[in-house]
A and B are shown apart, each in its own frame.
Chain A
Amino acid sequence: MSHLLAGRAQMGTSLEFHIVFASLGVGLPVLIAIAHFLGLRRDDQVWMRIATRLTRAFTVLVVIGVISGIVISVELTVLWPTFVARAGSIIGLPFSLESYAFFIEAIFLALYLFARDRLGPWLHWATLLPVCLGALVSAWIVVAANAWMNAPTGFKREDGRFVDISPLHAIFNAAMPAETFHMIAAAYLATGFSVAGVYALSMLRGHCGTYERRGLGLGMALVAAAIVPIGVSGDNAGRMIAQAQPVKLAATEGLVHTQRHAPLILGGLIDQNGNTRYGIQIPDLLSLLVGRDPNTLVKGLDSVPPQQRPPVVVVRNAFSFMAAAGVALGILAGVYWLARWRRPRLAEHRLMLLAVAASGPLAFATIEAGWIVTEVGRQPWIIYHVMRTQAAITGSPLVGVMFVLFSALYVALTLITVVALRSEMRLLPRRTLAPHSLTNRH
């Protein structure tokens, strides 16, 4: 493995690990807040029980997410010192603001967990709102920093240095709206499917009470809320990429030649030159999607020399997987709610529950694929058309060793997460839980 590839693999592994916890960190507090609200409003112990169990899981996930987040911030400096030295004055502000957002989230989470006895019921519930907001802002601002790498703005270049820096212009770059909107919607969607999946598994094991049904419905309600925004933002992201990063779009769509009436190719096997075999071509559709007009000119891979193209096979396959899995998840959500509306018994059919149980991991695999498209699709640039990834990486010969060590760390963290979650859930039996026992173990 080359020096550069080892560095990219390490950063990629770290981000792919962290995004699972970050996404759950955005979505879970919303579900907890809803369940807790219903529990208080209706004086309902079942909803309180759901809120309590989700809170326990959330607490474990936050701890692991903090560890993996710290690792990433260290890696940014250690692996990409040139990038941090040059771009630090531009993206330093969003990262600092992200810290504040996280502090707000952490402080109010601590209040929610430990100050219940000192606050009234509704004030205690209200401490969840800054947790939700902090997680949301945190996600928005970090993804905005990533969007800047895709559509860099807010500076001028002078002798290889960045001058006249405007961090606010950098944050509000052209890629920010679609990218942040898409990722936040994906976080809610994946959390919804994951929570619904856990309760679906429980129902498959024979526990089909009010508790499980409501838990399943709660997760799928968040899915329902996120499903249209993710479609809208996905469409926006595609059009934004066509303008800001046309080569990335060409790689995702397997478009070799710059052309009008560009077709959309579904499936097939692609090579590094962008040639697709066995794919299904739909004439004009790519031009139509990009510019709302079949006559729209869409740039192909041939618009840049081969050395300026990303690894087309990886990008295209990741994108195809993301799109196919996204559509499948959308269909599942539609079928589930249609069944629940018209044929409630069908919504609890074994096959439906199996599909919902599988949807959580599939949703996260979809997010991972999306980030592969975003990051690998930008190569060979770390800052698009400004700095090459090769120029940003550390000269340390230990990158390969670090990759192995950090990979081992993530395996260990995964095991710790599973053990900790199982342990927390065992301490909180499904049937015998006393309501409002957020901090008391018995």
Chain B
Amino acid sequence: MLLFVSRTSGWIDVALTVGWLITVVIAAHRWMGKGGE
């Protein structure tokens, strides 16, 4: 999917999206570590 997105959007958009998702996952992991409240 990302490969096809990259075909029209460019790698910067792909990198931005993937980078953002990793950031959210890390933040969510830290949030869960605090009890998820």
Residues of chain A having any CB pair with chain B under 8 Å? 38, 47, 140, 172, 174, 176-178, 180-181, 210, 213-214, 217-218, 221, 224-225, 228-229, 232-233, 235-236, 239-240
Contact = CB atoms under 8 A, between A and B. Distances in A.
Nearest to A184: B1
A236 B37 contact: no
Given A172-B4, A177-B7, A38 B32 contact: yes
Contact of B1 (A38, A140, A232): A140
A213 B37 contact: yes
Of A38, A140, A229, chain B has the most CB atoms within 10 Å of the CB of A229
A236 B5 contact: yes
A240 B17 CA distance: 18
Given A214-B36, A225-B21, A176 B4 contact: yes
Contact of B8 (A177, A218, A221): A177
B10 to A, nearest CB: 9
B8 A232 contact: no
A27 B30 CA distance: 22
Contacts of B20: 225, 228-229
Contact of B16 (A225, A232, A240): A232
B21 A229 contact: yes
Nearest to B25: A225
A174 B16 contact: no
Interface in B1-37: 1, 4-5, 7-9, 13, 16-17, 20-21, 24-25, 27-28, 31-32, 35-37
Given A38-B36, A217-B31, A221-B31, A178 B21 contact: no
Given A214-B36, A232-B9, A232-B16, A177 B4 contact: yes
A54 to B, nearest CB: 15
Main secondary structure of the interface of A (DSSP, over half): helix
A178 B16 CA distance: 15
A214 B37 contact: yes
A188 B8 CA distance: 22
Main secondary structure of the interface of B (DSSP, over half): helix
11 contacts: A38-B32, A174-B8, A178-B8, A178-B9, A213-B37, A224-B27, A229-B20, A229-B21, A233-B5, A236-B9, A236-B13
Contacts of B7: 177
Contacts of A221: 24, 28, 31
Contact of A240 (B8, B24, B25): B8
Of A174, A213, A224, chain B has the most CB atoms within 10 Å of the CB of A224
Contacts of A235: 9, 13
Contacts of A177: 4-5, 7-9
A235 B24 CA distance: 21
A174 B8 CA distance: 8
A209 to B, nearest CB: 9
B24 A236 contact: no
A181 B3 CA distance: 12
Given A174-B8, A177-B7, A236-B8, A228 B37 contact: no
Given A177-B7, A229-B20, 10 more contacts: A140-B1, A176-B4, A210-B37, A217-B37, A224-B24, A228-B16, A228-B17, A232-B9, A236-B8, A240-B8
A180 B7 CA distance: 14
A389 B12 CA distance: 38
B31 to A, nearest CB: 7
A225 B24 contact: yes
A177 B4 CA distance: 6
A51 to B, nearest CB: 13
A232 B36 contact: no
Nearest to A42: B32
B37 A181 contact: no
Contacts of B13: 232, 235-236
Given A221-B24, A221-B28, A232 B37 contact: no
A232 B24 contact: no
A218 B31 CA distance: 10
B12 to A, nearest CB: 9
Nearest to B35: A210
